[in-house]
Amino acid sequence: MKALFKASLASPLELVDRPEPTPGSHDVKIRVMTAGICGTDLHIQAGDAAAAEMTVPDLVPGHEFYGEVVEVGELVDHVRIGDRVSGEGHVVCDMCRNCRAGRRHLCIATQSVGVQRAGAFAEYVVIPQTNVWVHSEGGITPELGAIFDPFGNAVHTALTFPMVGEDVLVTGAGPIGIMAVAVARHAGARRIVATDVSEERLQMAVAAGADDVVNVATERIGASQRRLGLKEGFDIGLEMSGVRTALPEMVENMNHGGRIAMLGLPTGEIPVDWSRMVTRMITFQGIYGRQMFETWYAMSAMLDSDPVLRERISAVVTDVLPATQWEAGFAAARSGHGGKVVLDWTVF
């Protein structure tokens, strides 16, 4: 099969021929149709320090995908050949305390598809049956199916705290931040403000439902509070960027008793005034991935019930390229200006 492959941290990412994976007794083999490019994939391509901490050699990356089931193991009983599916990228141990207590998203031995095990930048990928999400017939396009993983990140983050009637600050209007804006609007937020340094992405956030946007290269968040008449600060903060300055400015603009959910992975140490966190009684929650599988049920239910949300999430995909043009796709994703980039693995 054709696959993007990285032989070692220092090796280039290349489109090569690789052996097709074989499913085990509890596994499902999927013909990949579309696969989204994630920030993690950019780290893997670069072979940087972040990639060194999390990846293994001889890796096929890619963890955001949609495809068709073509083979199942002999003990698979809930997934059928021909099903159109996406995949939960975190493969858990099922034996640690959290797994056995039903908190699988907190597994201490998680292995990630396309990071510690073979991924979906390929014509075929194999994952356990328990990681397969079967879509309803005709309900999801290949492009939308390819971004269920990052959409799940947005849903998990945005729904961490009750959202109805609250004023929400989203720092980082990348694809996941834009989707978080759309989810917050669906979930009943009162005012939503998004920040970024890309005017294109800020306009995408407006289209997704933001009431106001702030280009933090030229303006401070406090100006948005004044425009919207927010006298006491934001009730909920969703930190999606990982930028060193984002969290401190978010804290500065939170109401007393505010709640912050943080998905963005910091690229360095973040200075935070912890006395302000204490005296303002701010609740802080780290977010990693999706709740398995409560988030997936919520995603599908929201898309099924809300055509506007479906349109807004679908619009996050701005580039669809043949897998043979993967280098252009990675360059577009790395530019930080557009939305989600998806590779089409059905055309060679």
Q: Are 182 and 172 in contact (CB under 8 A)?
A: no
Tell me, yes or no, if 43 is annotated catalytic. Answer: yes
Q: Provide the CA 17 distance to its chain's centre, in angstroms.
A: 28
Active-site hit among 34, 43, 157, 295 = 43
Q: Are 77 and 25 in contact (CB under 8 A)?
A: no
Q: How many CA atoms lie within 13 Å of 201's alpha carbon, on the beta-carbon side?
A: 28
- Gap between the Cα atoms of 251 and 313, Å rounded: 28
Q: Provide the CA 295 distance to its chain's centre, in angstroms.
A: 12
The DSSP element (H or E) to which 252 belongs, if any, is: helix 246-252
Q: What is the DSSP letter of 144?
A: H
Active-site hit among 22, 26, 40, 141 = 40
Question: Which of these, 152, 203, 140, 141, lies nearest to 176 by C-alpha position?
Answer: 152
The DSSP element (H or E) to which 148 belongs, if any, is: helix 148-158
Assign residue 233 a region: left if phi > 0, alpha if psi is -120 to 50, beta otherwise?
A: left
Beta sheet of 254-262, edge-to-edge order: 212-215, 191-196, 167-171, 234-239, 254-262, 283-286
Helix (H, G, I), strand (E, B) or coil at 76: coil
- Gap between the Cα atoms of 133 and 292, Å rounded: 11
Q: How far is CA 282 from CA 84, 158, 233, 277, 317, in A?
A: 42, 17, 12, 5, 34
- Gap between the Cα atoms of 334 and 91, Å rounded: 27
Nearest 5°: the CA angle 272, 276, 282 is 95
- Gap between the Cα atoms of 230 and 344, Å rounded: 44
Report the catalytic residues.
40, 43
